[in-house]
Amino acid sequence: EMVPEIVESLYGLGEKFMESIRFTASRINGRNSSVFWETERNFGYIASFLRRKKEEGLDSKEFNKWLDAFEVNPKEAALDFWYEIHKGVQESLREFN
């Protein structure tokens, strides 16, 4: 979050930097080579991240739904979580594809 501000303050190129980042992200995503995280360890990373966010005070209906899903069935929750992230990336980069 701070990098664009730093680039702007040092070089006056904050917006150009962000355009470059968006373009690079769209090129990477354009290959459509993302794959689901298939190991138990990866499921655990996501679950522990969610638990930490809970400890930090995050509390919403959707967040708690994800937290509960990882407690019940980590593999299924991880697949659903990955798919939602994948859809979000597609939506956010739609203008570049």
Give the model confidence (pLDDT) of 57-79 as tens digits.
999 999 999 999 999 999 999 99
Q: What is the pTM of this model?
A: 0.62
Radius of gyration (Cα) for the chain, nearest Å? 17
C-beta separation of 8 from 14 below 8 A:
yes
Please name which of 35, 36, 23, 21 lies closest in space to residue 77, comparing C-alpha atoms: 36
Distance CA 69, CA 80 (A): 9
| Total number of residues shown for the chain | 97
DSSP 8-state secondary structure symbol assigned to residue 94:
G
How confident is the model at residue 72, as a pLDDT?
A: 96
